Amino acid sequence: MSKQKPTIFEGAATAIITPFQNGVMDFDAMGAHIEQQIAAGIDALVIAGTTGEASTLSHEEHCDLLRFAAEKIDGRVPIIAGTGSNDTAYGIELSRYACDVGYDALLIVTPYYNKATPKGLIRNFLDTADATNKPIILYNVPSRTGVNIPLSVYREVAKHERIVAVKEASGNLSAIAQLFDECGDMLDIYSGNDDQIVPIMALGGKGVISVVSNILPRETHDLCAACLAGDFKTGAEMQLKYLKLINALFCEVNPVPVKTAAGLLGLCNGELRLPLCEMEDANREKLIGVMRAYGLI
């Protein structure tokens, strides 16, 4: 059976950082970063995801950020709102707001900390889909949530017309291959890890929701474009070319290194919100060295 659901985007979507200035959101820096991303050819933007430090935003800040970005982007590329929560009712509230202000899709992370059972996961995802009117991308990142989405859950929720895709950041390529085999006719699959873009696209993935594209938007777009064109040799060469930078951007928990790198590039001041804080000196020097080796600074 061929997939009848909409494809939200193909290529590279940036999970964009949220700049702060003296503890509050820096909309000037955010707007400039959005403009640079679009000018570089990025295929879509994710607002208020993990990389955007959404878990530290108040409700008012989360809504203000979603509204600002939607108005700034103004339909130029698909926009996806990170609105998942470990409280299903609150996640639905945020999701409805994102729908109201013009988002093309919702990114719904597996509820973190609660460690829901498969039945609870199914109810969380289906209740959210029933309560909203935009396509949903599920976000599987067990290293951060403590729960992996099992195939039994994917099979069940894939039946819903508005659950259309998955951001897979489990890192388990064998399990992801099984997901393609069993649900690939009902769900688009995106890499959630920058070091696995080519393997996942070679299996049939539509692209990546990326961290490194905050720093290299054009290159990440081009890597995905090569894979979409069937040129996996070029894609693999690019994947390996940027592997040291990708690894450096994950030498501490995301988004600490990428926010630091963005600060070094003048995209923002690098400010983070507790409990995230500045990099360890040794890791910062390592990141600087890698960025210099790539000619970024």
Catalytic positions are 139, 167
Counting beta carbons within 10 angstroms of the beta carbon of residue 117, is it exposed (0 to 12), middle (13 to 18) or buried (19 or more)? exposed
SS3 208: strand
Rounded Cα distance between 163 and 128, Å, is 10
Strand pairing class (24-25; 20-21):
antiparallel
SS3 164: strand
> Could you tell me the end-to-end alpha-carbon distance of the chain, in angstroms, rounded to an integer?
49
Rounded Cα distance between 205 and 189, Å, is 5
> What residue type is assigned to position 290 of the chain?
V
Residue pair 157/122 in contact (Cβ under 8 Å)? The answer is yes
The residue behind tokens 């039994």 is: 152
The CA-based angle 94-33-265, given to 5 degrees, is: 130
Rounded Cα distance between 150 and 242, Å, is 31
**Torsion of the alpha carbons at 225, 14, 74 and 262, rounded to the nearest 10:** -120
Rounded Cα distance between 106 and 6, Å, is 13
Instruction: State both tokens at 162.
Output: 């508005």
Helix axes 59-73, 27-39, angle to 10 degrees: 40
